Amino acid sequence: MLLKIVQVGVPVLRSGTCPLTRDEIKGAEIQQAIEWMRETMREAPGVGLAAPQVGLPLRLAVIEDIADVPEKERKPVPFHVLINPQLTLGAGVVEHYEGCLSLDGFQALVPRAHAVTVDALDHHGEPVKIEAGGWYARILQHEIDHLDGTLYIDRMHTRTFTTTRNLTQLLTSDAGE
Ligand code: ZN
């Protein structure tokens, strides 16, 4: 089932989230929510979707990236679930344009840590440790921000905020010169 992705201004995007117990994770309701979030993320399409974006104030997100873009250090990431994640930022900052399914049609330049470590639970409630760099590290920071009620517009260089259409035109004309 496809879930409705809420847009900026809906309070659940700003209110923070509750952690899940291992029993809750293994229960039918959360397993169903994970399945529906996966379908919704793929349909959007997006590379990550956090529970608040579908109206659920839970410390849960799904991630999957199929793209391979060397200049952004972006490589395919298989589907996985992040529950109750704890984020540790590594050294070094990189800036790229990023967008959000809850701010449809816009992007901005956002500085993010180049590498991160995440301790979380997987969809079975088992502990996992993720060491990530490049674009995957950006996705993790973006999704975990959602769980804390933070959006990329809180971190962006404000004067780079643009519609995706204008950004695409800008990048296309750059490439032509
Ligand atoms: Zn987002």
- Euclidean distance between CA atoms 38 and 2, whole angstroms: 9
Chain centroid to CA 132: how far?
14
Domain that holds residue 79: 11-175
Q: How far, in Å, from the CA of 176 to the mean position of ligand 1?
A: 31
Supply the pLDDT for residue 175.
57
Global pTM value: 0.96
Amino acid at 78: P
Please say if the pLDDT value at position 19 is more than 90: yes
Residue 139: inside a domain, yes or no?
A: yes
Residue 119: inside a domain, yes or no?
A: yes
Q: How far, in Å, from the CA of 99 to the mean position of ligand 1?
A: 7
Supply the pLDDT for residue 53.
98
Q: Are 106 and 99 in contact (CB under 8 A)?
A: yes
Residue 25: inside a domain, yes or no?
A: yes
157: domain CATH number is: 3.90.45.10
Q: How far, in Å, from the CA of 50 to the mean position of ligand 1?
A: 7
Please say if the pLDDT value at position 115 is more than 90: yes
Q: How far, in Å, from the CA of 124 to the mean position of ligand 1?
A: 24
Q: What is the pLDDT of residues 121-151, one digit of tens each?
A: 999 999 999 999 999 999 999 999 999 999 9
- Euclidean distance between CA atoms 114 and 107, whole angstroms: 19
Q: How far, in Å, from the CA of 177 to the mean position of ligand 1?
A: 32
Cα 81-1-27 angle, rounded to 5 deg: 50
Buried b (16+ CB within 10 A) or exposed e, 21-50: eeeebeeeebeebbebbbebbeeeebbbbb
Residue 5: inside a domain, yes or no?
A: no
Supply the pLDDT for residue 176.
52
Q: How far, in Å, from the CA of 16 to the mean position of ligand 1?
A: 14
- Going by their DSSP bridges, the two strands 60-65 and 115-121 should be labelled as unpaired
Q: How many domains in the chain?
A: 1
Query: Which residues have a catalytic role annotated?
Result: 143
CB atoms within 10 A of CB 71: 6
Residue 43: inside a domain, yes or no?
A: yes
Tell me the mean pLDDT in the region 29-37.
98
Alpha helical stretches, state H, 85-156? 134-147
Residue 2: inside a domain, yes or no?
A: no
- Euclidean distance between CA atoms 115 and 149, whole angstroms: 22
- Of 118, 114, 109, 116, the closest CA to residue 155 belongs to 109
Please say if the pLDDT value at position 20 is more than 60: yes
Supply the pLDDT for residue 52.
98
Residue 4: inside a domain, yes or no?
A: no
Residue 122: inside a domain, yes or no?
A: yes
- Euclidean distance between CA atoms 170 and 177, whole angstroms: 11
